[in-house]
Amino acid sequence: MPSSYNLPAAVGSYSGTGAQSVAIAAVAATTNNNGNLTDSAGNLQTDFVWGNLPKQPNDERADGTPAATVAYGPAGNAQWTTTTTVPSARLNPALGNHSDIEADWGNFPSFVAAPGNFMVTAAKGDGTTVTYTSQNNLKAGDVVNITGLTASAYNLSAATVATANTLKFTVTNAANAGEITGQWYGKVEAANAKDIGDGFGLGYIQVPNVVGLTLAVALDSLKDSGYEAVNITTASAVTPAISNVALTSNVATVTTAAAHGFAVGDLVTVAPVTATTLAATLVAIATVPSTTTFTYAKTTGNVASATDTGTAKVPARFNTIKTQSTAANAANVSTTATITVTPYAAS
């Protein structure tokens, strides 16, 4: 069977990213029982896959590893006594070279060499030159875009590479924000690499639908899709406000000032300020005639349609995303574009 591309990077590989990979890459190679060269972590120096597929990064995680213990009874029977379910963690760029591997290949299914698109793990400016730590194959004169760094002064567009080697490159620029390290979402992209048809596709993304997801999962999904972390904004949590109410034949109709995002079957708590007879606690929404109206059963006297105020809440939606500023499935959106998500308030 083919093996995955083991991380950190193999000895001598320019594709290694992060301090751990760089350290391993500097260690002399050894061999395994099959006679294959390995790095100091015991991973094969050069892995392979079948056919013309490029190298594949393995699924190494920075955290999220569940813990469990096994108890043995008197008769030697074993059972799990403590198990923990841990959500799958994001891939840790500091442990590998996912962007680098993808950047070297493009144009599925031929996988010919493609322009560079590499991770940046650190940066330092001195008022004249900015030095970036990045496993790369750039060269002096390349025009690059640098994004995703926590010190925004070092995020440069159409910058010309002054010097470069396989571990670092420099740009002549007055930016001086001190030294930053441990960067997770920094990357440098050759200006001619922004082509969604190429295999790496890191310049542009397709926006995911995060409405209804918890805030944490939504932010993770946006990052996974390619958004720069610094360009994702979380708006203040909101609660749909009531603008009109009515009740006819034991069916209450509530209109909200903006799209409520509720669905049939949601358990809603309604608190009108004026028409208090329509108040309800955790009743099922019967219909959703429009994005700003919903109905539910309420046994009481009729109430003529009238403006009102108050709130309509679905506790199950607390801290989940109500709206996103860029529509789901929008394509050709730059990874440096901004997006705002708005969650439901808890109170």
Residue-wise DSSP of 72-137 = E-TTS-EEEEEE---PPPPB-GGG--HHHHHHT-BSTTT-B----EEE--EEEE-SSEEEEE----
pLDDT digits (tens, 9 = 90+) for 6-21: 344 444 444 444 444 4
Q: For the residues 65-78, what does the mean pLDDT come to?
A: 59
Other CB atoms within a 10 A radius of the CB of residue 108 amount to 13
Asked if the 205-236+320-343 domain carries CATH number 3.30.10.20, the reply is: yes
Residues 181-204: tens digit of each pLDDT: 988 778 888 775 444 333 334 456
Q: What mean pLDDT do residues 32-56 have?
A: 54
Encoded amino acid at 71, one letter:
A
* Residue 152 main-chain phi, psi, to 5 deg: -60, -25
Look up the CATH architecture of domain 242-317: Beta Barrel (2.40)
pLDDT in tens, 252-291: 999 999 999 999 999 999 999 999 999 999 999 999 999 9
pLDDT at 103 over 90: no
In the chain, what percentage of residues exceed pLDDT 90? 45
Q: Dihedral through CA 292, CA 297, CA 298, CA 303, nearest 10?
A: 50
CA distances, 280 to each of 40, 89, 236, 256, 287 (Å): 65, 40, 26, 15, 16
Q: How far apart are CA 144 and CA 153, in angstroms?
A: 15
Q: Which one, of 82, 43, 42, 87, lies nearest residue 62 by Cα?
A: 87
CA pair distance 347, 153, nearest whole angstrom: 38
In the prediction, which pLDDT does 226 show?
A: 73
Instruction: Using alpha carbons, select from 345, 343, 291 the residue that is nearest to residue 321.
Output: 343
pTM beyond 0.95, yes or no: no
pLDDT of residue 330: 83
CATH 3.30.10.20 segments of the chain: 205-236+320-343
Written as six digits, the tokens of 206 are 């397709």
Kindly tell me the burial class for residue 56, based on how many C-beta atoms sit within 10 Å of its own C-beta (0-12, 13-18, 19 or more): middle
What radius of gyration, in Å, describes the C-alpha atoms of the chain?
Answer: 27
CATH placement of domain 98-202: 2.40.30.20
Q: How many Å separate Cα 77 from the centre of its chain? A: 43
Confidence of residue 229 (pLDDT cuts 50, 70, 90): confident
Give the phi and the psi of residue 256 in degrees, each rounded to 5.
-105, 155
Domain with CATH 2.40.30.20 in the chain: 98-202, 242-317
Whole-number Å distance between alpha carbons of 80 and 256: 50
**What phi and psi values does residue 16 have, to the nearest 5 degrees?**
-60, 140
pLDDT at 64 over 50: no
SS3 state of residue 204: strand
Residue from 230, 229, 263, 258 nearest 243 by CA:
258
Q: Model confidence over 116-159: pLDDT tens digits?
A: 678 899 999 999 999 999 988 888 988 888 988 999 999 998 89
Tell me what pLDDT residue 186 has: 85
Confidence (pLDDT) at 38: 65
Query: Is 40's pLDDT higher than 60?
Result: no
